[in-house]
């Protein structure tokens, strides 16, 4: 007596005819394949670098496999970085910390906005500034920044002293920064050294969360005591993730970056 047994595994179907004794005859097997979607691949450049304290380096990232080329920049697992490992803007502009961290190697990461499981990283070694020649062993393919040259101590010319918002024609800073609800807009008021036309402003975190309208002309001014100031508008997406953000200002001419940590707090709409 013989019979037919259907064996099903996933999307594969096989028909096996069983006869008398130990004889087994596999007559047919058919397996259907699934459609493979392109995998997202993130690359970063450079992948290694040596950067002296308080110096800057521009990183770039490319995203393949999706139409969304945006990435989120982080240093040491912190979006936007920190004063310990250095700050990075959402355009990839990295500012080394004021002192060498321990360990001296920090990780700069670019993460796909489309798929946060896809990322690429670079290793940055922070070194002490030197008034004389500073020799560092550099492996093939690595990048150096201001190494093996004589450099004078850097005197910062850019620093945020405080941030707040405006009510009518009156602007003031606040210790807790500015609270903005999802789907809302706000005018940000920043005071500090080197806050002048040509500086660029951004908010840390996912670039899609907050849109910054770059200031110009009369938006730059001075406070009553003569400190440089600026106002600029931001628009918070209704889908923005609630939580604190850093206000970032960069000077492309001097290569400096300053940040007001927690200068913006995004709150859920309706609260």
Q: What is the pLDDT of residues 107-166, one digit of tens each?
A: 999 999 999 999 999 999 888 765 444 444 455 555 555 444 444 445 567 888 888 898
Angstrom distance (rounded) from CA 44 to CA 108: 9
Task: Report the chain's mean pLDDT, rounded to a whole number.
Answer: 79
Q: What is the pLDDT of residues 16-26, one digit of tens each?
A: 444 444 444 44
pLDDT at 58: 87
What is the Cα Rg of the chain in Å?
A: 27
Q: Reply yes or no on whether the pLDDT at 251 is more than 90.
A: no
Go through the domains of the chain in sequence order and give each one's CATH number.
1-34 (no CATH), 41-144 (2.60.40.60), 159-267 (2.60.40.10)
Q: What is the pLDDT of residues 212-245, one digit of tens each?
A: 999 999 999 988 878 899 999 999 999 998 888 8
Angstrom distance (rounded) from CA 60 to CA 66: 17
Q: Select the more confidently predicted residue: 89 or 136.
A: 89
Yes or no: say if 80 and 86 are a contact pair by the CB < 8 Å rule. no
Q: Which helix (H) or strand (E) holds 29?
A: strand 24-31
Q: What is the pLDDT of residues 192-204, one digit of tens each?
A: 888 999 999 999 8
Name the pTM for this structure: 0.47
| 3-class DSSP assignment, residue 121 | strand
Angstrom distance (rounded) from CA 45 to CA 23: 61
């Amino acid at each position: 007596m013989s019979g037919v047994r259907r064996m099903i595994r996933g999307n594969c179907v096989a028909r096996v005819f069983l006869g008398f004794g130990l004889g087994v005859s596999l007559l047919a097997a058919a397996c259907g394949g699934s459609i493979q979607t392109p995998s997202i691949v993130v690359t970063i450049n450079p992948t290694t670098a040596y950067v002296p304290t308080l110096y800057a380096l521009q990183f770039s990232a490319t995203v393949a496999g999706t139409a969304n080329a945006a990435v989120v920049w982080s240093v040491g697992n912190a979006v936007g970085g920190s004063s310990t490992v250095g700050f990075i803007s959402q355009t990839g502009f990295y500012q080394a910390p004021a002192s060498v961290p321990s360990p001296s190697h920090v990780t700069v990461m670019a993460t796909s906005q489309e798929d946060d499981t896809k990322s690429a990283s670079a290793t940055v070694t922070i070194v002490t500034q030197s008034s004389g020649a500073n020799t560092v062993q550099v492996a093939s393919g690595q990048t150096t920044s201001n190494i093996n040259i004589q450099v004078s101590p850097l005197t910062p010319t850019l620093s945020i002293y405080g941030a707040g918002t405006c009510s009518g024609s009156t602007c003031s800073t606040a210790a807790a920064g500015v609270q903005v609800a999802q789907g809302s807009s706000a005018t940000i008021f920043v005071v500090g050294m080197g806050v002048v036309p040509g500086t660029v402003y951004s908010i840390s975190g996912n670039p899609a969360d907050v849109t910054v309208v770059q200031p110009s002309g009369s938006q730059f001014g001075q406070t009553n005591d003569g400190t440089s100031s600026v106002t600029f508008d931001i628009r918070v997406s209704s889908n923005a993730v609630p939580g604190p953000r850093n206000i970032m200002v960069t000077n492309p001419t001097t290569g400096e970056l300053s940040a007001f940590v927690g200068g913006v707090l995004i709150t859920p709409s309706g609260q």
